[in-house]
């Protein structure tokens, strides 16, 4: 038996990266999965069982229609993992206002819209799952360690992800008594096309080495490692977990190294 048998799941940003890994993991665990992305079609085809929808998470009518279609086709929606987002920013004196607006619009407004219509759908359905049978659904938002701590040049991205963290906590408060759990995952730096698009340009090699070494495990994360945590948060194993902004970051937010471990022979 899979951990998500008979559950209906929607994953945004599901064409690549963390979203794609989550789609594949949820499918393997028995869920009926819809993958949403802004692309007309995934660059790499998804498994045939996955329903793919072209959804712009900043367009309210499109998001609303997407959830209506899921409920019409399946009767309910049990799990929503919102992984759609972009990475952009810069020091504010160098950042165009239009770019600030674009990042906040996609990362924060997009989270608001997806969560809004997920909550509306879940509130209208009967509770089925959980150890007490009283859960209507689980929403997982992808935030970032950069929504918990500052990073140089982060500005718009960090602000957007910090907003996702506190929005998640508010949703957990608002809907917990109605059987809807809402949590956020705060990944460290994950080896995905999104990361490559930011740090893959010439001259960034040393920056990437420093970023990798800033994780106490000494490496970047993998998309499937984040998907595993999304699976946990949507499963009955997390039936008493809500309102959490969970760092999954290889120790990035644990603190700093200053060479003492090397002196002690622990490096």
List the catalytic residues: 157
Give the CA count within 13 Å in the CB-facing half-sphere of 93.
1
Question: What 3-state class would DSSP assign to 61?
Answer: helix
Please report which helix (H) or strand (E) contains residue 139, including its range: strand 137-142
Three-state secondary structure call for residue 30: coil
Tokens found for residue 95:
């950042």
- Cα separation, 112 vs 32, whole angstroms: 24
Q: With beta carbons less than 8 A apart as the criterion, state whether 111 and 140 touch.
A: no
Helical axes 223-234 vs 17-28, angle rounded to 10°: 50
Residue 91, number of CB atoms within 10 A of its CB: 10
DSSP 63: H
Residues 6+ apart with CB under 8 A from 228: 25
CB neighbours of residue 108 within 10 Å? 20
Q: What is the CA radius of gyration of the chain?
A: 19
Question: Given the structure tokens 């924060």, which residue do they identify?
Answer: 108
CB 128 within 8 A of CB 182: no
């Amino acid at each position: 038996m899979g951990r998500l048998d008979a559950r209906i799941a929607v994953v945004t940003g599901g064409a690549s990266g963390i979203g794609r890994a989550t789609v594949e993991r949820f499918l393997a665990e028995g869920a009926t999965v819809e993958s949403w992305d802004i692309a007309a079609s995934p660059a790499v085809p998804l498994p045939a069982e996955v329903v793919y929808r072209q959804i712009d998470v900043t367009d309210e009518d499109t998001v609303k229609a997407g959830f209506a279609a899921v409920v019409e086709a399946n009767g309910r929606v049990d799990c929503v993992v919102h992984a759609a987002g972009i990475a952009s920013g810069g020091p504010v004196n160098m950042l165009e206002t239009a770019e600030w607006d674009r990042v906040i619009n996609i990362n924060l407004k997009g989270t608001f819209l997806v969560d809004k219509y997920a909550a509306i759908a879940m509130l209208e359905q009967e509770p089925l799952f959980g150890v007490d049978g009283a859960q209507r659904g689980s929403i997982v938002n992808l935030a970032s360690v950069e929504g918990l701590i500052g990073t140089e040049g982060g500005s718009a991205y960090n602000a957007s992800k910090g907003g996702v963290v506190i929005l998640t906590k508010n949703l957990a408060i608002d809907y917990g008594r109605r059987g809807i759990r809402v949590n956020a995952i705060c990944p460290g730096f994950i080896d995905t096309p999104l990361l490559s698009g930011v740090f893959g340009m010439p001259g960034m090699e040393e920056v990437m080495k420093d970023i990798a070494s800033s994780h106490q495990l000494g490496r970047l994360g993998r998309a499937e490692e984040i998907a595993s945590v999304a699976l946990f948060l949507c499963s009955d194993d997390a039936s008493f977990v809500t309102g959490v902004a969970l760092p999954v970051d290889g120790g990035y937010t644990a603190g700093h190294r200053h060479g003492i471990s090397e002196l002690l022979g622990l490096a």
